[in-house]
Amino acid sequence: MPDYIQLLESKLSPNEKQALNAMTDVARARQITVFLTGGAVRDIVSGASVRDLDITVQANPLKFKKDLERAGFTITGEHEPSKTLYLRFGKQARMEISAARTETFPKPARPEYAPAGILDDLRRRDFTANAMALSLNEGSWGLLLDPLNGTADILTRHLRLVSNYGFLEDPIRLVRAVRLMSRTGWEMEERTKARYDNAKEEGAIGAITAVQRGYELEEIGYEEEPLQVLKALESEGWLQHLSPVWTVRSADVQGLERLHERYVQLLMAGLHPDPSAAQFRLLTAKLSPSQLSALKKTFVRGDLIAESNALDAEAKHLLQKMTAKDAAKPSQLWKLLHSAKPEAVLWLFFSNKAAAVQNKFENFFAKWPEARQKIPNAILQDMRILPDVEGYDELLDKLTFAFMDGELPTDETIRKFAEPYSPPAPPPPVIVRRSRTVKRVTEPKKPKGRKTAKNAAPSQNGDLSLAAAGEAVSPAEVAEKASVGKGTAGKPAAAKAGAEKTSATQAAGKSAVKPESAKKPEKVAKALPAAKASGKPTAKAKPEKTKTTGKVATKTSPKPGGKAVPVKGKAQKAAIVAKAHGKAGKAARVGPQPVAKKSVHPPASARGKAKASATTAHRPIAKKPAAKTVSRPASKATSGKSTAKTKSKPKKKSGK
């Protein structure tokens, strides 16, 4: 059902949609069920263009003709026995509204009618492709009724009789079969073709009525390819029974071809005329006036005759407007042609051969539509004129007409023209400026659990902890070391200088000592693990006061404030690199085997340099002379290896 609703919306023209809505409004007001039936449903399902609308109601439409007229319909004819009205809505929509009924044929072509439901009405029709209906009622809109499986015959492109005696009961169906096959290209189903041939041989066509004859003749004028249908009917011999005077020889064949070309051009330009009236003029162009008058009298509906007779007057009136001052500009002429009656535009374009008129039509089809492509979208976007801006479509139309008339030669004129449609600029964005944050270097997290030589790390000041040497570290020593680091954190220059001065001493294997603190007791400094790893005896250092923090004593450079600045030496850096690679930890703990029972002393020059650097770098600031200390040998490492021993000169005994 949703598919057929979509087809209703897509296949019908705007005028036909309006007619369908107006009809359903009238039916609902009178509480009448209404259905779209016949050829309209066939064309919608098959995908063909809809030519007219057939409406079936379960009531007598002759009783509410006034309601239809008030809704905008024009009654062009009626057939009282079948209770059928022929209507027009707007310019193009043609419609038939009839009562749901059954038909019986006591004589050929002489049916008797009786009211019935919609399903019975579908079963009395001619072919299965025409025996379908779409509901237009509230609650079942778009519901397809197909009791005879007409959709299957549409898919196979076959015409199948609803009744086995259809051609004999109503011989006008012989003409309809040929007309439909000529238009659609379908073929008759095998049994239907056999019945068609039998009815043709028996001469059943002679029983048709005048009303049926006039209706079929008028339908030829509404065909999209009327000359093709006319030839098919003439070849089957049915045209002679419909009208002996109207033949293919009475048609202007070249005019019909040229009219078709003009019709296609108007469609491409956006105009949708109904070519039926113009086609009828050309199909009967070679008939005498008396013959044409006799032919027109047979028509059931008078709208085709009225429209064909009014074509010349409407085209003349349109030509006067086109040559007036009000249509001097291209934009004015464009608006005039789009607002005029499309059928009058088609006939003027076809019939008037003046060079000035044809030149205007050529500009209308070829030159003026190019103005739409000249719209500067980049300029409109720069002016913030986007499709969602109010009045955007109106601006595009105005720009198109201005380009047609050549009124916008430069970009400045375009901007000035479009300025009233430009929205105000948005407020500038608010920028919140944030202060620049200084990156802070935080201490790496210390490993949890018991600290050993494997998980020990260098301290913040670059010193090796006692844990690296395999000794335990107490919480008091950690706190004391942190207090020393805080006192020297603000003086990186002094620390750098001290590191440079002590580098020579540490390279020679001397143990670093700290100056004596005022509040701490004197302790013996321990030798660095680097001295063990070097394998060389350490040089004798000048006795100095040391400060023991529970970690390896480091060389410091005294400051005026009395605070000691730890210095990073090569040994400490070597230990850090060695720990990162997982190899130096073991080397720091074990160290190389010293030469057995041999004391290797550095050259005198080296000892002198080391002594001089140590004396210069570690000159204490204390007022009292430093007491001489004796550095004891460091305890052996966990590996059991011997360490280098450092001794100071013994104190001479007194003369006693």
What pLDDT digit, counting tens, does each position of 520-559 carry? 444 434 444 444 444 444 444 444 444 444 444 444 444 4
**pLDDT value at position 13?**
85
Q: What is the pLDDT of residues 67-114, one digit of tens each?
A: 999 999 999 989 999 999 999 998 778 999 999 999 999 999 999 999
How far is the C-alpha of 186 from the C-alpha of 154, rounded, in Å? 9
Alpha carbon of 253 to those of 203, 227, 401, 412, 614: distances in Å?
A: 31, 8, 39, 54, 125
Q: What is the pLDDT of residues 582-629, one digit of tens each?
A: 544 444 454 455 544 444 444 544 444 444 444 444 454 444 444 444
**pLDDT value at position 461?**
42
Q: Name which of 282, 269, 333, 336 is nearest 308 in CA terms.
A: 282
CB half-sphere exposure, 329, CA atoms < 13 A: 12
Beta-carbon contacts of residue 42 (< 8 Å; ≥ 6 apart) = 48, 129, 130, 132, 150, 154
Examine the pLDDT at 655 and tell me if it is beyond 90: no
> Has this prediction a pTM greater than 0.95?
no
Q: What is the pLDDT of residues 256-282, one digit of tens each?
A: 999 999 999 999 998 989 999 999 999
Provide the residue count of the chain.
656
Per the model's pLDDT, the better-predicted residue between 463 and 242 turns out to be 242
Examine the pLDDT at 286 and tell me if it is beyond 60: yes
For the chain, the maximum distance between any two Cα atoms, rounded to a whole number of angstroms, is 175
Examine the pLDDT at 469 and tell me if it is beyond 80: no
Cα dihedral value 262, 287, 86, 350, nearest 10: 10
**pLDDT value at position 553?**
41
SS3 content of the chain, % helix, strand, coil (to 5): 50, 10, 40
538, 644 contact by CB (below 8 A): yes
Q: What is the pLDDT of residues 173-207, one digit of tens each?
A: 999 999 999 999 999 999 999 999 999 999 999 99
Which of 165-179, 374-388, 494-508 is least confident?
Answer: 494-508
Portion of the chain with pLDDT greater than 70, in percent: 66
How many Cβ atoms sit within 10 Å of the Cβ of residue 253?
Answer: 13
Examine the pLDDT at 209 and tell me if it is beyond 50: yes
Q: What's the token pair of residue 265?
A: 């051009």
Helix (H, G, I), strand (E, B) or coil at 615: helix
Per the model's pLDDT, the better-predicted residue between 321 and 649 turns out to be 321
- ∠ at Cα 491 (487, 497), nearest 5°? 120
Q: Name which of 567, 551, 548, 550 is nearest 559 in CA terms.
A: 567
**pLDDT value at position 60?**
93
- Domain 1-208 has what CATH class? alpha beta
Helix (H, G, I), strand (E, B) or coil at 525: coil
How far is the C-alpha of 140 from the C-alpha of 131, rounded, in Å? 19
How many Cβ atoms sit within 10 Å of the Cβ of residue 503?
Answer: 18
Q: Band of the pLDDT at 315, cuts 50, 70, 90?
A: very high
Q: Name which of 535, 517, 558, 541 is nearest 611 in CA terms.
A: 541
Q: Band of the pLDDT at 449, cuts 50, 70, 90?
A: low
**pLDDT value at position 7?**
80
Mean of all residue pLDDT scores within the chain: 76
- Mean pLDDT value across residues 635-650: 42
Looking at the DSSP assignment, which residues form a beta bridge with residue 96?
54, 86
Q: Band of the pLDDT at 443, cuts 50, 70, 90?
A: low
- Mean pLDDT value across residues 470-477: 49
